[in-house]
C-alpha cells in the first residue's frame, strides 16, 4: 500500500509527481519552522492558512492534531497519532477565511473579522508556505508581516492591518484603505496621495475621531510618528483635503461606532480645554505624545483643569451622569464591559474626579510611567460628564495596546484578563511607594495567626500603597501540609479578586463497552452516570465501580472509530471531548499486564464483490505482549484475546449475556452488570490455544505502522521490534467466521442514544456560596505545582487550604465559566444564583479583628458574557448608587433595566461593595439573612 486506504491516492500522487513522502513533508516543514523561530525579527513574512485545510495536511503527514497520547490511570506510555482521514489533501483553500473577493487581480483580499488563531487559521513562516504551495498549489496567498508592539517590543504577526475610511472632501467619495499600524504618517500621506493622484505637498489629512471633534495629522516632512502612536483605530474615518484657492469642507455624517479619515486643506480648530485636562492628553496627538507627556506642562494641565472638571461633573444634569456608553472599536466589547464596571465603582469615581496627579508614580519600573492611570482617569471623567453621548475609548485603547500588546489587535479577549491587567497597572502607576524595601518572608512557626497576618500585611503595604490596594485588595490565609513529614506552613497573601470554580450538579449518562484484555470474558456494555462537566477520571472511577475493577486492575479508555482505535483518553481529558454519538470502549487489564507492551488488533475481510480488495470491519481488540519476540508470540496473544468469541466455548443460553447485533443491551445484561459477575471463560481455553500452534501460523496476520498504513505479513520467524504498542491486522477467512462469533464485535452501543420521549432537564443552578465552598475546600496540589517542604527538603505534593482573612471594600468574584483542556475549550452556562443585597461573608472570614469592617456586601455591577468562546459578546449591568437604579451598558447603548432582570446565566464578573455600618450596628448587620437569595 502507498498512502491511506484511498483507492485514488496512488494515481493522484503519480500524476502530481510528488517529490516527497508524507514523512519527508513533515520533516521539511519542521525544519523550516525551526529555522524561522531562530530568526524572528520585525518584517518577517508569515502566511495565514485555513486551519480546515492545514488540519487535513497534519493528518496526512501523521502530525499530532489534538488526539490524546496513549495513557491510562497509572502508567504513561506513548501512542502514535491516528487520524480519521489520511488521504492527501487537495490544493490549499483559504477561501473560508475571506471577508471579500478582492479585485479582479485577487488583490485587496481581507480576512473576516471574527477569525480566531488556532481555531480558524494558523500562521506559517514564509519558508513553510513556499514548500506547501509548491507541493499543493492553491491559495489565495495571504501574507502578513511581523511587527513589534508595545513598550517591550513584543513580536507579533499583524493579521489585521488598520482599515481606514478615506473621505475625499472634493466629491465626498469614500475609499477603504489598508495600512500597517506600524507605518508612519509619512507612509499614509504617500499612500493617500498616490491613490488620489494629487501632489503630497497639497494634501492635508484630518482625523475625524469623534462627533464634532477633529485634528489635523502632522504634515510632511515631520510625520515619522507611527499610526499606532497616533491612536488611529480600526474602521476610523479620515478626511482628505487638497489645497485650492477656495475649499469648502462638506459636512460628513458619522455612524454610531465612529471615526473616519478625511482629506482637508485647512487646520481645524481645536478647543484648548478638554474634560481630561489638556490637549496633549485628550487624544494622544501633538508633539508631546507618549512618554513626553511628563515634560512641560502636560501633567500640570491635569491639575490646572481639575476644578473645571469637578464643576463640569457637578453641574451636569443629574439624570445623565454616568450614563454614557462606550463605542465598540472592533471586538472591544470585552474592554467596554470591564471598563463600565470599574468606572461605576464609587470609590474609584471619587478618586479619579479629584486631583490625583501627586500620586502618579513615573519612576516605578513595574508601572506604565503613569500613562495608563492618566488615560483611565481621563476616560472616567468623560463618561461622567458627557451626558448620554457614547464615548470612543480610542486614547485608552492606544495606551492599552502599547503596554499590553496581547490586547493590541481586534480579536475578542477575556474581560477578566483585562480587569486583572488594568487593576494591577493602575496600582503600579499610582503606587505611593517610590522605593520598595526588601523583606524576607518568615515562617509562621506556630505563632498566632493574627500576628503572622499583620506582619505579612505590613510587609505588603510597605511595598504596595495605592487606591487599588486601599479599595480592592484583601488577604487570604493559605495553609500547606506536607503529606510526608506533616510540616504545616501558613502564609497570608493579598488578593484583588476571587476566581471561583463552578461545581457541577448535573450528571450525564454514558455507555461504555468493556473488553477483557486477557481474554477471560466477553465484552460487556456498562451504563454509568458521571458529572456532566467532569473529566475522564470521573468516567474511569464510575466505570471501575460498575464492572468491579479490583485494586490490582486498571482500565484503558479509547474511542473506536472507522474500525480502529482513533484516540486514547487521559484521566485529565474533559468529558466534553466525548460526544454522544461516539463509540467508547474500555480495555481491562491487570496492573502487571499493563506494564507489558500492548497489542492493538484490527480486522479485515475479503470483499466478494470486488475481488482482491480488503475492507476493515469489527471493533479493534486490545491485549498485552509478555516477552514477545516473533510472529508466534503475536499469534498467541491474538488467540488469547479471541478465545471468548469461540462458538464451541459458549452455549446459546450463555451467549445471551453478550451484545445484540443491533447494538442494544438485553435485560440479561443489565442484571449481570449489577451482580459484578462477568467471567464466562473456562479452563479449556488454554488447551485450545496450545492446540492451534503447529509449525506455521494458523492466522493471517500483518504488521502495520503507527498510523495504520502499510501491511507486512507476519510469519513465525518475523522479528517483533521492541515498542510500547504493536499494531496488527487480522485478515478473516471462512475458517475464522466459522470458529468465532463476530457479532460480539459489531454495532457496539454509542455513548448515549437519545430517545424520542426524553424529558427536558431543568437548567442547572448553583449558589454563589457553593462556588465559594469549592474555592476554599482543601485539595492536593497538582503534580506540576509541587511545594518545596522545608522539613523534608524536597518537593512534595502537599495539600492546600485557603481561607478568607481580610476582606476589601470592593470584592470582585470571577466565575470560571471557561474550562480548558489540552484539546478543548468549553464554556459553562450554569446559572449562578447570587445575592443582590446583603451578601454575608462573615462565616468565611477567619479573622476575629473587629476593625476589619463589615462582612456584608451590596452588588453594584456585573460583567456579562453571552454566547460561546468564538462568537461571544460582553455587556455590563451597573447601578447608579445616587439614583438606586440599574442600567444595561451594551457598548454604545445604555438602557434602564429592572433589578429583577440582572440575575442571568451570563454573569461572569460580580462587583460588590461593603455595606457601611456604624460600629455598634456591625454585629447586627453581619447577621442579616440574604433575604433576596
Task: State the average pLDDT over residues 207-230.
Answer: 60
Task: State the average pLDDT over residues 633-657.
Answer: 71
* pLDDT for res 825: 60
Is residue 884 pLDDT above 60, yes or no?
Answer: yes
Q: How confident is the model at residue 649 (pLDDT cuts 50, 70, 90)?
A: very low
* pLDDT for res 267: 30
Q: How confident is the model at residue 929 (pLDDT cuts 50, 70, 90)?
A: very low
C-alpha 381/C-alpha 387 separation (Å) is 11
DSSP state, residue 648: G
DSSP-derived 3-state class of residue 767: strand
* pLDDT for res 804: 94
Is residue 657 pLDDT above 70, yes or no?
Answer: no
C-alpha 776/C-alpha 495 separation (Å) is 14
Bond before 441 cis per omega within 30 degrees: no
Least trusted range by pLDDT, from 27-31, 234-238, 433-437, 647-651: 647-651
Least trusted range by pLDDT, from 437-451, 475-489, 740-754: 437-451
Least trusted range by pLDDT, from 141-155, 440-454, 859-873: 141-155
Least trusted range by pLDDT, from 74-78, 327-331, 585-589: 74-78
Which is higher by pLDDT, 650 or 605?
605
Task: Just list the catalytic residues.
Answer: 333, 873
* Nearest CA-CA partner of 510 in 586, 398, 572, 441: 586
DSSP state, residue 203: E
CA atoms within 13 A on the CB side of 539: 33
Summarize pLDDT for 429-464 with one digit per residue, the tens.
Answer: 999 988 888 877 777 777 888 888 898 999 999 999
* pLDDT for res 242: 67
Least trusted range by pLDDT, from 259-263, 642-646, 871-875: 259-263
Least trusted range by pLDDT, from 206-215, 332-341, 540-549, 682-691: 682-691
Is residue 31 pLDDT above 60, yes or no?
Answer: yes
C-alpha 143/C-alpha 159 separation (Å) is 9
Q: Is residue 62 within a helix (H) or strand (E), and if so which, with residue range? A: none
Q: How confident is the model at residue 219 (pLDDT cuts 50, 70, 90)?
A: low
* Nearest CA-CA partner of 423 in 873, 805, 812: 812
Task: State the average pLDDT over residues 699-722.
Answer: 81
Cα end-to-end distance, the chain, whole Å: 67
Most confident of 91-105, 152-166, 233-247, 368-382: 368-382
> What is the rounded average pLDDT for all residues in the chain?
75
CB 923 within 8 A of CB 871: no
C-alpha 493/C-alpha 476 separation (Å) is 6
Q: How confident is the model at residue 503 (pLDDT cuts 50, 70, 90)?
A: confident
* pLDDT for res 341: 96
* pLDDT for res 719: 82
Task: State the average pLDDT over residues 675-689.
Answer: 39
Task: State the average pLDDT over residues 193-200.
Answer: 76
The b/e string for 575-591 (b: 16+ C-beta within 10 A; e otherwise) is bbbbeeebbbbbbbbee
Is residue 319 pLDDT above 50, yes or no?
Answer: yes
Task: State the average pLDDT over residues 873-891.
Answer: 91
Grid-cell match 497489542, residue found: 599
- Which strands, in side-by-side order, build the sheet including 121-125? 121-125, 45-50, 143-149, 154-157
Q: How confident is the model at residue 771 (pLDDT cuts 50, 70, 90)?
A: very high
Summarize pLDDT for 369-423 with one digit per residue, the tens.
Answer: 888 999 999 999 989 886 778 888 888 888 887 787 777 766 778 899 999 999 9
pTM: 0.56
Least trusted range by pLDDT, from 347-351, 442-446, 717-721, 738-742: 442-446
Beta-carbon contacts of 785 under 8 Å, excluding residues fewer than 6 positions away, are none
Q: How confident is the model at residue 810 (pLDDT cuts 50, 70, 90)?
A: very high
Q: How confident is the model at residue 898 (pLDDT cuts 50, 70, 90)?
A: very high
C-alpha 208/C-alpha 240 separation (Å) is 11
Q: How confident is the model at residue 279 (pLDDT cuts 50, 70, 90)?
A: very low
* pLDDT for res 633: 86
Domains of the chain are 22-63+87-148 (3.30.2230.10), 162-242 (3.10.20.90), 507-646+699-745 (3.10.20.90)
Summarize pLDDT for 320-370 with one digit per residue, the tens.
Answer: 678 899 988 878 899 999 999 999 999 999 999 998 888 999 888 888 888
Is residue 641 pLDDT above 60, yes or no?
Answer: yes
Which is higher by pLDDT, 200 or 389?
389
Task: State the average pLDDT over residues 275-304.
Answer: 32
DSSP-derived 3-state class of residue 443: coil
* pLDDT for res 686: 40
Is residue 18 pLDDT above 80, yes or no?
Answer: no
**Cell, residue 22:** 508524507
* pLDDT for res 101: 55
The per-residue DSSP string of 256-321 comes to SS--EEEEESSPPP--S--TTSSHHHHSS-STT-GGGGGSTTHHHHHHHTHHHHHHHHHHS-GGGT
* pLDDT for res 164: 79
Is residue 622 pLDDT above 80, yes or no?
Answer: yes
How many Cβ atoms sit within 10 Å of the Cβ of residue 81?
18
Which is higher by pLDDT, 27 or 811?
811
* pLDDT for res 857: 95
* pLDDT for res 779: 84
CB 821 within 8 A of CB 830: no
* pLDDT for res 878: 95
C-alpha 516/C-alpha 555 separation (Å) is 10
Which is higher by pLDDT, 765 or 791?
791
Is residue 149 pLDDT above 80, yes or no?
Answer: no
Which is higher by pLDDT, 288 or 415?
415
Most confident of 337-351, 546-560, 660-674: 337-351
Amino acid at each position: 500500500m502507498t498512502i491511506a486506504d484511498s483507492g485514488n491516492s496512488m494515481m493522484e500522487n503519480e500524476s502530481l509527481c510528488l517529490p516527497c513522502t508524507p514523512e519527508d513533508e513533515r520533516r521539511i516543514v519542521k525544519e523550516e519552522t525551526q529555522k524561522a523561530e531562530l530568526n524572528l525579527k520585525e518584517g518577517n513574512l508569515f502566511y495565514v492558512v485555513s486551519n480546515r485545510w492545514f488540519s487535513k495536511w497534519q493528518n496526512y503527514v501523521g502530525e499530532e492534531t489534538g488526539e490524546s497520547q496513549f495513557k491510562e490511570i497509572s502508567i504513561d506510555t506513548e501512542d502514535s497519532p491516528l487520524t480519521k482521514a489520511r488521504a492527501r489533501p487537495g490544493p490549499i483553500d483559504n477561501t473560508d477565511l475571506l471577508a471579500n473577493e478582492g479585485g479582479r487581480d485577487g488583490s485587496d483580499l481581507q480576512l473576516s473579522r471574527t477569525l480566531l488563531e488556532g481555531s480558524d487559521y494558523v500562521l506559517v513562516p514564509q519558508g513553510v508556505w513556499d514548500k506547501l504551495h509548491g507541493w499543493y498549489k492553491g491559495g489565495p496567498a495571504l501574507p502578513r508581516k511581523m511587527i513589534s508592539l508595545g513598550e517591550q517590543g513584543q513580536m507579533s504577526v499583524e493579521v489585521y492591518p488598520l482599515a481606514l475610511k478615506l473621505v475625499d472632501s472634493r466629491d465626498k467619495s469614500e475609499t477603504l484603505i489598508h495600512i500597517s499600524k506600524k507605518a508612519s504618517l509619512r507612509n499614509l500621506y504617500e499612500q493617500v496621495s498616490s491613490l488620489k493622484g494629487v501632489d503630497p505637498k497639497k494634501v492635508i489629512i484630518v482625523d475625524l475621531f469623534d462627533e464634532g471633534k477633529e485634528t489635523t495629522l502632522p504634515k510632511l516632512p515631520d510625520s515619522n510618528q507611527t499610526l499606532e502612536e497616533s491612536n488611529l483605530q480600526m474602521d476610523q474615518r479620515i478626511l482628505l483635503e487638497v489645497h485650492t484657492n477656495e475649499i469648502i469642507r462638506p459636512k460628513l455624517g458619522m455612524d454610531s461606532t465612529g471615526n473616519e479619515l478625511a482629506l482637508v486643506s485647512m487646520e481645524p480648530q481645536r478647543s484648548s480645554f478638554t474634560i481630561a485636562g489638556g490637549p496633549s492628553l485628550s487624544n494622544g496627538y501633538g508633539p508631546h505624545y507618549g512618554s513626553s507627556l511628563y515634560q512641560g506642562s502636560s501633567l500640570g494641565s491635569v491639575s490646572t483643569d481639575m476644578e473645571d472638571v469637578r464643576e463640569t461633573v457637578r453641574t451636569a444634569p443629574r439624570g445623565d451622569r454616568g450614563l454614557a456608553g462606550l463605542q465598540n472599536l472592533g471586538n472591544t466589547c470585552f474592554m467596554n464591559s470591564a471598563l463600565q464596571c470599574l468606572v461605576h465603582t464609587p470609590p474609584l469615581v471619587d478618586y479619579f474626579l479629584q486631583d490625583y496627579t501627586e500620586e502618579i508614580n513615573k519612576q516605578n519600573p513595574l508601572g506604565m510611567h503613569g500613562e495608563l492611570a492618566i488615560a483611565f482617569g481621563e476616560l472616567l471623567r468623560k463618561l461622567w460628564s458627557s451626558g448620554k453621548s457614547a464615548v470612543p475609548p480610542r486614547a485608552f485603547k492606544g495606551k492599552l495596546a502599547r503596554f499590553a500588546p496581547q490586547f493590541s489587535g481586534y480579536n475578542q479577549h477575556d474581560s477578566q484578563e483585562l480587569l486583572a491587567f488594568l487593576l494591577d497597572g493602575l496600582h503600579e502607576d499610582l503606587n505611593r511607594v517610590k522605593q520598595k524595601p526588601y523583606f524576607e518572608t518568615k515562617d509562621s512557626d506556630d505563632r498566632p495567626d493574627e500576628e503572622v497576618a499583620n506582619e505579612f500585611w505590613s510587609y505588603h503595604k510597605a511595598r504596595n500603597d495605592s487606591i487599588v490596594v486601599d479599595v480592592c485588595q484583601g488577604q487570604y490565609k493559605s495553609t500547606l501540609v506536607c503529606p510526608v513529614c506533616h510540616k504545616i506552613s501558613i502564609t497570608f497573601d493579598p488578593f484583588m479578586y476571587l476566581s471561583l470554580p463552578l461545581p457541577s450538579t448535573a450528571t450525564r449518562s454514558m455507555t461504555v463497552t468493556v473488553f477483557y484484555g486477557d481474554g477471560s470474558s466477553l465484552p460487556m456494555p456498562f451504563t454509568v452516570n458521571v458529572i456532566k462537566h467532569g473529566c475522564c477520571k470521573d468516567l474511569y472511577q464510575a466505570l471501575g465501580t460498575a464492572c468491579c475493577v479490583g485494586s490490582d486492575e486498571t482500565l484503558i479508555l479509547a474511542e473506536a472509530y472507522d474500525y480502529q482505535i482513533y484516540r486514547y483518553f487521559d484521566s485529565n481529558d474533559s468529558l466534553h471531548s466525548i460526544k454522544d454519538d461516539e463509540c467508547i470502549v474500555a480495555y481491562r487489564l491487570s496492573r502487571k499486564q499493563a506494564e507489558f507492551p500492548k497489542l492493538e488488533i484490527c480486522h479485515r475481510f475479503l470483499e466478494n464483490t470486488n475481488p482482491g480488495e480488503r475492507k476493515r470491519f469489527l471493533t479493534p481488540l486490545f491485549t498485552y505482549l509478555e516477552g514477545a519476540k516473533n510472529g508466534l508470540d503475536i499469534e498467541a496473544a491474538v488467540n488469547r484475546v479471541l478465545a471468548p468469541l469461540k462458538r464451541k466455548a459458549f452455549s446459546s443460553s450463555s451467549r445471551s449475556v453478550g451484545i445484540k447485533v443491533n447494538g442494544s443491551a438485553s435485560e440479561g445484561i443489565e442484571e449481570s452488570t449489577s451482580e459484578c459477575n462477568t467471567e464466562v471463560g473456562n479452563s479449556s481455553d488454554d488447551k485450545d490455544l496450545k492446540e492451534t500452534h503447529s509449525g506455521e501460523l494458523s492466522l493471517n496476520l500483518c504488521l502495520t505502522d503507527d498510523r495504520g498504513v502499510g501491511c507486512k505479513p507476519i510469519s513465525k520467524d518475523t522479528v517483533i521490534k521492541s515498542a510500547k504498542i504493536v499494531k496488527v491486522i487480522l485478515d478473516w477467512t471462512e475458517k475464522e467466521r466459522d470458529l468465532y462469533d463476530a457479532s460480539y464485535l459489531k454495532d457496539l452501543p454509542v455513548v448515549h442514544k437519545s430517545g424520542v420521549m426524553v424529558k427536558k432537564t431543568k437548567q442547572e443552578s448553583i449558589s454563589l456560596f457553593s462556588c465559594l465552598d469549592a474555592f476554599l475546600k482543601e485539595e492536593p496540589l497538582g503534580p506540576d505545582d509541587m511545594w518545596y517542604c522545608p522539613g523534608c527538603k524536597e518537593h512534595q505534593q502537599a495539600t492546600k487550604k485557603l481561607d478568607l482573612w481580610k476582606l476589601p471594600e470592593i470584592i470582585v468574584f470571577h466565575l470560571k465559566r471557561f474550562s480548558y483542556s489540552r484539546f478543548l475549550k468549553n464554556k459553562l452556562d450554569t446559572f449562578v444564583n447570587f445575592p443582590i443585597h446583603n451578601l454575608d461573608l462573615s462565616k468565611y472570614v477567619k479573622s476575629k479583628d473587629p476593625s476589619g469592617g463589615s462582612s456584608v456586601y451590596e452588588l453594584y455591577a456585573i460583567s456579562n458574557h453571552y454566547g460561546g468562546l468564538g462568537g461571544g459578546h460582553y455587556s455590563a449591568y451597573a447601578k447608579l448608587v445616587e439614583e438606586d437604579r440599574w442600567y444595561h451598558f451594551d457598548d454604545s447603548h445604555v438602557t434602564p433595566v429592572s433589578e429583577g432582570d440582572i440575575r442571568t446565566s451570563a454573569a461572569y464578573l460580580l462587583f460588590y461593595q461593603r455595606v457601611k455600618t456604624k460600629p455598634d450596628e456591625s454585629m447586627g448587620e453581619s447577621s442579616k439573612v440574604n433575604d433576596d437569595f
